[in-house]
Structure formats: C-alpha cells, structure tokens
Structure 1
Amino acid sequence: MGKILRFTQLIVLPILGAGLLQAQSTTSVYDSTLAKKLKADDYGMKKYVMVFLKTGTATHLSKAKSDSLFAGHMANISRLADAGKLVVAGPFFKNDKYRGIFILNATSVEEARELVAIDPAINSDLLAVEFLLWYGSAALSETLQIHKRIEKKSH
C-alpha cells in the first residue's frame, strides 16, 4: 500500500502542481493603460540605466565640505525623483567597492550622465560613477509612489 501511495504522489502531485501553475498564468489581467503609462514592452519590461556610486578621488575634504556636498547629493536625488527620472536609490552596506546605486528612468547612458551632471558630490569627485544599461520590469517605476505610502520618516 505504501508503494502505491508513493507512486500516486509521484504522478498526481506534479500534475496537480502544473495545473495550478497554468491556472495562475491564465488568470493574470493585462492592463494596457498601465503598460502604456509605464512604457512597458510586450513583456512588461523596459530599459533603465543603473548608476553605481563609488568613492571618488576627493578623499581629503573637510567634514563641513563633505557634508555640504552630500546635502546637495540628496537634493539632486529629490529633484530626480520629483521629475520621474529616479526609480530607485540607496546606499549599499559597507563594502570595498560600491557606496550606492541609482536606477534611472533613462534609455541611454548619455541621458543618465545628463541627469546626474549637476550632482555636487559627483562633480566634486567625492563620488565616482559607473553607468550600465539594464532591462527590468516597467513596474519598477511605481516603486517610489509605493515607498511614500510605507515610510514613517523621510530623509
């Protein structure tokens, strides 16, 4: 009896699982209006530019100067977010290479360079940047709107 039960589990459970997966995939609801608003392709994806922030060459600035540059950096982040160009930003935990990341709603590295061109921390070489095109979910563009609804404190 135990062998028959195991055989049934081996055959029936995977079939049921596959049926559930198929049922889930056929119940998704395509929203053409939202897809168009987010500039999604047929796969719900779009092009972004990742901006990796690293420690720059200006390592001997005074604390006051460094603080001032970072205040300008945060103001630039807010400006990009308000313009709908910043999708995600944040610092990395302590590591030997990267300080933080931006994901920009940009379709080329040239456009991304223009978007960060007035960032004082980048202009002063306090932060160095590395740009990389990335293909990700167009839904990522909604992240900041959701974030506003879940943050208790603002920077």
Structure 2
Amino acid sequence: MNRFFCLLLAFSTFAAAAQTSKSDYNKVLADSLGADEYGMKIYQFVILKTGTASIANKDSVSQIFKGHMENINKLVKENHLIVAGPFGKNDKQYRGLFIFKAKDKDQAEKLLLTDPAIKTGLLTYEIFDWYGSAALPMYLHYSDKITKTDF
C-alpha cells in the first residue's frame, strides 16, 4: 500500500507541475487577443473553390477579380480577415483560403458575400471552425513591413 501511495503522490506532483503557468505569460495581451488558457481561439477557416458561373468576357472577369482583391484589403483593414492566399493548381478546384476573425460561421458568410467573385458565382466556399493561435492576427503588423507592392 505504501508503494501505491508514493506512486500516486509522484504522479500528482508531475501532473500539477505540467499545469503550471508560464512565467512570461501576459494576461493583458492574451485577453486583448481573446486567447483561452492555451493561447488559442476559434477562427472561421474558409476554403474558396471554383464556382459554377462562367463569364466569357475576360474584361468582366478581370474587373470582378480586381474587386475581389480590393475586398480582401478592405476586410483586412476592418480587422475581419487575418489570412488570405491562393492555392496552386489542384484537382479539387480549391482556389484559396481565408481565415476570419469572425464570431461564428454566419458572420463569416456575411463577410464572404461582400466579395464580387463570390456574389457572381465565380467562386464558392466552405466554412470550418478552426482552433489556432490567438496571436495569429499579430503577423499582419509585420506583413505590412515586408510587402513592397500591393496587389
């Protein structure tokens, strides 16, 4: 019985040590980013896919995708969109991704419907809840500092 008690005490000590707070934890920063105790939060992850619409006029398609890029920049400035980018060619018709700082899928969908490429059906989308680092939005500050030319 004494061995069992010693093992239980050792395990309890190890478990408690594994759950100690980090010394460089910044509660103010964590709270401002909406972080949980693990420094994480839920985002809305969107996969953009080729839509069903077909527009033959190349100038119209060009204008729509110009509006798509302008909308991306607007959503970033409004602090809704924190990651956006295209995929390379693939057999799934996946065109790109967005990661939104939206409270839920409904809010993400409202933001998506501001995009002219989605409105016209050139792009469609799937939305997923995604659990990632609450610090993810902080990279945008540095992104501006390394971007030489806007789209």
2:33 to 35, 38, 51: 38
In structure 2, the residue matched to 1:110 is: 106
Q: Which amino acid aligns with 2:139?
A: T
In structure 2, the residue matched to 1:80 is: 75
Cα-Cα RMSD = 1.8
Structure 2 spans left out of the alignment, 5+ residues: 1-16
Percent identity over the alignment? 47
User: Do structure 1's residue 47 and structure 2's residue 42 form an aligned pair?
Assistant: yes
1:49/1:131 contact within 8 Å kept: yes
1:92 to 84, 87, 99: 87
Q: Which amino acid aligns with 1:101?
A: L
1:1-32 CA-to-partner distances (Å, cap 9, x unmatched) read xxxxxxxxxxxxxxxxxxxxx9xx98751111
Cα deviation, residue 122, structure 1? 0.1
1:49-100 CA-to-partner distances (Å, cap 9, x unmatched) read 0111111011343111111110111111011100111010000111122100
Q: Which amino acid aligns with 1:80?
A: L
In structure 1, the residue matched to 2:138 is: 142
In structure 2, the residue matched to 1:125 is: 121
The 1-side partners of 2:113 and 2:22 are apart by 44
Change beyond 3 A, Cα 1:96–1:73: same
The 2-side partners of 1:60 and 1:80 are apart by 25
The 1-side partners of 2:56 and 2:109 are apart by 24
Provide the TM-score with structure 2 as the length reference. Answer: 0.81
Provide the TM-score with structure 1 as the length reference. Answer: 0.79
Aligned structure 1 segments of 4 or more residues deviating by more than 3 angstroms: 25-28
Structure 1 or 2: more helix by fraction = 1
Cα deviation, residue 118, structure 1? 1.4
- How many aligned positions are there? 132
The 2-side partners of 1:89 and 1:67 are apart by 19
The 1-side partners of 2:76 and 2:23 are apart by 30
In structure 1, the residue matched to 2:7 is: none
